[in-house]
Amino acid sequence: MEKTTLRGRIWVLLDRSGKLIEDIDTDQIYHNAFLHITEVSEMGKYALGNLEGWKDFPAKAAPGDILVAGRNFGAGSSRQQAVDCFISLKVGAILAPSFASIYFRNAVNSGLPVLKSPRIERLAEGGELESGDELEVDFLSGQALNVSKNMSFAVEPMSTVQKEIFRAGNLFAFGRSSNRKA
Amino acid sequence: MGKTVVEKIIQAHTRDEARAGRIVWMDLDIRSARDFGGPNVVKHYEREYGDELLADRTKTFFTFDLCAPACTLRYADNQQACRDFALKHGIKVYDVDQGIGTHVLMEEGLAQPNSTVAGTDSHMNILGAMGSFGQGMGDVDMTFAFRTGRTWFEVPETTRVIIKGALKKPASAKDLTLFLLKELGTKRLALKAAEFYGQAAAGLSLAGRLTLCSLITEMAGIVGFVPEYNDAARKEIERFTGAPFSPFVADEDAPYAETIEINVQGLSPQVAAPPSPANVKPVADLRGVRINSGFIGSCTNGRTEDLAGAARILKGRKVKAGVMLKVVPATRRVYQELLARGILRDLFESGAIIVNPGCGGCAEGHVGLTGKGEVQISTGNRNFAGKQGKGETYLASPAVVAASCVLGQIASPEDL
């Protein structure tokens, strides 16, 4: 049986007033001062390095952790590094009500699960999703469970292409496995 | 059911059915990478494909515009890695002397109406100004596209924006665009294409269209089109495309997600205050905010017409003592036009620093950053916290930036 479930500790990107931060842009995720870096392993230490209140994220993050962010996550630049910095830290997934279009496809192409859930804003701001909680998400069925609080909610299941690229590992592997495309 | 502009362009590049919401495999007529993203493409390509040939070397380009010429060793190394790759694969490099890649692709006739153009620039969609579906993509997409000539794409829904009223001086295309950004925010056009109609849109020059279409990214949209072209704009575009111009128009029964009407009658100059491009206010609300520096240029406002407009205000005047004004033409061709028309002299004599073509003040690399406490007024497109350094950035039109630099505070050209 293929693994379709992710499990990890969540980080809820709240601002000081307890609101889920919206419109987090790629310069807040990965600043343009580091765009010259081409080695993924060097990118992790700059993740969220320009986001007020979250600059210590790389020191706190552990493999498999899941980020929960506000709508339009990844606004701005086309830089793949804003995805790769999380891959470098082995972040397991990112959940947001919506993602900026280029960011979303960059994440899909790199095999980082990005999952949309319009409900998480209310859940995060209502204290039903808190940093440190253990989350389990089935990205095929769209079922998510906050294990720590025994509270379930829905995320949008991955699209066919997202699922296929994720299964293959990334866009390159997917292209090779599917002669029609590559 | 009919099709929108973006659906028609995508349909012309796929065997799948191009309907909003569907994911299709789309051919890309032009694939490009910059000195940002480009070296990552080279690295991916060599790891994934080794010596395999590109899908089509005549449709593949590098454009260097971010750090031009390289001012750090890392950028120098990265640009050279791209040049070596280009030499090996026989592809053309628009090098550090040429200017902003999106504008170069337009001027060189590589971006054509109804074409699909992708590159490592989130403002690639400014090519919507000439009826081309430009799209910014990351280095994984671009590597894949270098090799295969295509990628997957979710066909976006389209929102129709009808702009009511006429744009009157001193309001410019940038003021119109900032006002639309204020009205539309980052939600109304999110993940959608836009078609702009109405006299204020159809009346725009090519430079004005580029300004409008460049800020679709800041509205969280995919691409914007102005399907009605005036004769002057059409002629300007044909100068580059070298062929008569027949861009797709939407069918009468094309499906729209929404139709929005926005009235711009009597619009005054606008400024986006930090920390967000959508935080737009009339100049009147910000008049008197002291500034330390100004920047005129970028893909949004770096055309000849933009810099000429600033020069008209600066001619015979001086940038206020203690204020630094940086001017960056979008491309070498623009630089040449400014030179021929004596505009660079006017800018120089006003005290402006004139820099070689490129992306200029929007990111680290070309004309420097803002320091802590520095207040900058810029014709660029982003003012997110920390993007251009530790200072604060206000976004405005070339005319407002010029007037503000003369007075040392945020001002409208009418204040002079």
A51-106 pLDDT per residue, tens: 999 999 999 999 999 999 999 999 999 999 999 999 999 999 999 999 999 999 99
Per-residue confidence (pLDDT) for residue B363, from 0 to 100 = 79
- Which of A38, A72, A77 is facing B43, going by the closest CB pair? A38
B149 C-beta neighbours (distance < 10 Å), count:
17
Average pLDDT, chain A: 94
Interface A:B, Cβ pairs < 8 A: 122
B257-272 pLDDT per residue, tens: 999 999 999 999 999 9
Query: What is the rounded average pLDDT of the residues A32-59?
Result: 94
Distance in angstroms (rounded) separating the CA atoms of residues B138 and B83: 19
Question: B354 - beta bridge partners?
Answer: B327
Per-residue confidence (pLDDT) for residue A179, from 0 to 100 = 61
Q: If we measure between CA atoms, which residue out of B257, B333, B329 comes closest to residue B296?
A: B329
**Which one of B41, B80, B85, B122 would you mutate to disrupt binding with A, by most A Cβ within 10 Å of its Cβ?**
B122
Distance in angstroms (rounded) separating the CA atoms of residues A47 and A122: 25
Question: B99 - beta bridge partners?
Answer: B331
Regions of chain B short of the pLDDT cut 70? none
B353-354 vs B375-378, strand pairing mode: unpaired
- pTM here is 0.96
Question: B225 - beta bridge partners?
Answer: B195
Whether B44 and chain A come into contact, CB under 8 Å, resolves to: yes
Q: Which residues of A touch B121 (CB under 8 A)?
A: 78
Q: Which residues of B touch A101 (CB under 8 A)?
A: 156, 191, 220, 222
- Which of B25, B135, B141 is facing A181, going by the closest CB pair? B25
Nearest-by-CA chain A residue for B22: A159
